[in-house]
Amino acid sequence: MDSILGVRVIVFLTTIACAFSLISYPDYAQARGWRVGALIDKDTGWVRIGSLVALVGTLIISFLEGSWWHPIVLLPSGWGAAYASVRLLREAVQAVALLGGSLAWILTLSGFGR
């Protein structure tokens, strides 16, 4: 694997993991009695909708720029990374995923690592 493509895949994986974290955290947190921030509390909040757009967009971009199998690998890997980050960071994952996901999505759209 080319080193530049490796950087790009890491950015894709970060975007997908942060998007999964932001989409799934409210339901997961409420079941455990954790705090949920006002930004991601609503089902139709702009952060959760933006995360879904980032998730789908990143999968499409990874398919177009990489290979056909990139989305197949990135989707379960991103979900696993999101699950691990929620379990490890608990309530702090909200801020980390929001900041990290925003930065990763900007890097994805800007073509960082091409």
pTM of the full predicted structure? 0.91
| Residues 113, 69: Cα–Cα separation, whole Å | 19
Sign (positive or negative) of CA dihedral 62, 73, 54, 3: negative
The tally of domains found in the chain comes to 1
Q: Given this model, what pLDDT does residue 111 score?
A: 84
* pLDDT tens, N- to C-terminus, the chain (114 residues): 556 668 889 999 999 999 999 999 999 999 999 999 888 887 778 888 999 999 999 999 999 988 899 999 999 999 999 999 999 999 999 999 999 999 999 999 998 877
Domain that holds residue 16: 3-110
- How many Å is the maximal CA-CA distance in the chain? 44
